[in-house]
Amino acid sequence: MSVSDSLFGALRQSADAGVVDLLERMVREAPDHALNKINALDIAARHGLDEERVIAALLNAVGLGLFEMTWNVMCPSCAGVISANKSLKTLDRAQYTCAFCAAGYETSLDNLVEVTFAVSPRVRKIAAHSPDELSAADYYQQIFWSSAIDLPADLEKLLREVTLETVDLPPGERAILSLQIPQGTVIVFDPVTHTAQFLEISGEETSERQSLSVVFNKLQVPVETIALRPGPLRLALENRTDSRVLPAVWVANQALDDLLKQRKPILNARRLLTNQTFRDIYRTDTLAIGQRLKILSLTFLFSDLKDSTGLYDRVGDLVAFDLVNEHFRLLQDIIASERGAVVKTIGDAVMATFETPDRAIAAAIRMREAMSDLGAERQHQSLRLKMGIHEGSCLAVTLNEQQDYFGQTVNIASRVQGLADSRSIVVTESVVENAQARGLLEASGLTPTVRRVALSGIAGEVSVYEIP
């Protein structure tokens, strides 16, 4: 039995069999590029599989050493990978800049960081494991562009439509190119060092040769756009790095615009942090101590058992302990099935996160019914949950040796939960204003009632909505 056979056998013990079968076929039969920067959501869509099961299988495969996981900081404009990281711990900049788009982006985990997977070299050696040996087209496909861009099957043909010249330049070498540059915008770009020099070509065509020098090194400094005239150009390129570079001279035309517009959904870091399998596997190894990463929108759900102290008095410690544990199990199952994750439990309370408000509301409704069913089954009708939901920005941090969240959004969600009565779900305005959440409530025949309340630490009164 080979190493991969043994590992896939182990993976079947913890992941969906259908997904494992697909991953095993891919490792054996798929072309190299299909096993690098694997997009979990795209895999699920193309093969009619559940997204959460695909994500869980890939995460477990990483744990077994079958695959490797990468956190790519990607440009939302061109979908190029600005920084590839084996861990969130190395995302240490407040802002990342894309030289190709000449734009900077505040670091956040919503749509700036994608999570992709690649087969481990111990299982199968693929071309992307040796990026210095890739052709220019393969480098763009497998290294530079993120899994968000829907690349055509014949990328090399399309690149020829936008490229005036390209060079494979070894470390320490220089190259001289003689070009005829057309009117419009021309970009000298290297995907290895992320160096870009923009040229605005305008005016009357000249017969005199123009000269330009571009140096490639590890320093990323903003450069001014250079104005030139259509006509001959002597372009000197120098590689001052310790690896080869792949500079190209591109024309900004319709073919390039069309290429960059072709997008696919991605597994972003925010969604992965709210995945229960991820939290179970990487509970203590996600962020560095003191590291703070911004999330622009995350939904928090707090729940607490009403009068749990009285429950212990009525039924005794042993029965109460069993009931509370069963309550935790049911809640975690429901939260995970709605694409959420339990962050922590505090006494009889649960703090959970969801990518979107509608998922949190769906979970809360199901949690409420599950408690009613459990109470009826165990003949303890007093099992009631108080729940509060709020959505907003926050910081992902490490607290008490586990990945947690910090900020006013968390505070408000906790305080909103304190307003809930038995069986009620109290949510904030940002939650009910979400279009998907509104649709879910209407489909469920639930009409929230609004009231104005004061929350400790929040200036003025705020609107909260009680879901009956």
Lowest mean pLDDT among 266-270, 377-381, 426-430: 377-381
CA angle at 138 for the pair 137 and 140, rounded to the nearest 5°: 65
For residues 239 and 170, the answer to whether their CB atoms sit within 8 Å is: yes
DSSP string covering 402-419: EEEEESHHHHHHHHHHTT
Portion of the chain with pLDDT greater than 90, in percent: 73
All structural domains of the chain: 3-151 (no CATH), 159-261 (no CATH), 287-467 (3.30.70.1230)
What is the tens place of the pLDDT at every residue in 296-323? 999 999 999 876 666 666 666 666 677 7
Taken in order 343, 347, 348, 349, the sign of the CA dihedral is: negative
d(CA 343, CA 179): 58
How far apart (Å, rounded) are the C-alpha atoms in residues 296 and 107?
10
pLDDT tens for residues 45-58?
Answer: 999 999 999 999 99
Contact in structure between 71 and 299 (CB atoms under 8 Å): no
pLDDT (tens digit per residue) in 51-84: 999 999 999 999 999 999 999 999 999 999 999 9
Query: Is the model's pLDDT at 328 over the cut of 70?
Result: yes
What does the pLDDT read at residue 315? 63
- pTM over 0.85? The answer is yes
Give residue 312's pLDDT.
Answer: 63
The Cα 48–Cα 378 span in angstroms is 39
Which among 283, 427, 282, 414 has a CA at the least distance from the CA of 359?
427
Which range among 17-21, 155-159, 369-373 has the greatest average pLDDT? 17-21
Token pair for 445: 């025949």
Q: Over 80: is that where the pLDDT of 441 sits? A: yes
Average pLDDT of span 277-284: 87
Q: Which two tokens stand for residue 340?
A: 């959420």
- Quote the pLDDT of residue 313: 61
